[in-house]
């Protein structure tokens, strides 16, 4: 039963992650979104916010939502980049590092959501 409930947040995380990467890449004209200040000023904070919201509404194993979101950004980067070459392992490590604040935000939001639910009962 729990697996079925994980489909929606995973789809949300994947779509948001890829959309953020592609949108910033296209708007900035850069091959990689993180080469644009718009990624750091807008897309990255939005990715953390979406991870927190997913953690709040889907509090089971919250680490999955940011990992899926940033994995989708990695996939979008690979699909869009023709010059990635042998640097993809470094990109994967970078996305892993970037996901850490989002994992923390999702966990904190899940804890907050559980507290709110407990107070209602």
User: Tens digits of per-residue pLDDT, 57-94?
Assistant: 999 999 999 999 999 999 999 998 877 778 889 999 99
Structure tokens at 19: 């959309």
- pTM, rounded to two decimals: 0.91
Q: Mind listing the pLDDT tens digit for each residue in 32-60?
A: 999 999 999 999 999 999 999 999 999 99
DSSP 45-114: HHHHHHHHHHHHHS-SSTTHHHHHHHHHHHHHHHHH-S--GGGHHHHHHHHHHHHHHHHHHHHHHHHHHH
pLDDT given for residue 87 in this prediction: 86
């Amino acid at each position: 039963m729990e697996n079925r409930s994980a489909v929606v947040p995973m789809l949300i995380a994947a779509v948001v992650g890829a959309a953020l990467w592609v949108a910033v890449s296209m708007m900035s004209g850069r091959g990689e979104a993180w080469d644009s200040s718009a990624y750091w000023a807008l897309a990255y904070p939005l990715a953390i916010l979406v991870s927190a919201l997913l953690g709040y509404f889907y509090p089971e194993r919250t680490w999955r939502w940011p990992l899926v979101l940033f994995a989708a950004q990695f996939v979008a980067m690979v699909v869009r980049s023709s010059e990635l070459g042998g640097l993809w392992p470094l990109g994967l490590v970078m996305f892993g590092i970037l996901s850490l604040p989002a994992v923390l935000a999702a966990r904190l939001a899940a804890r907050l959501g559980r507290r709110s639910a407990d107070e209602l009962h």
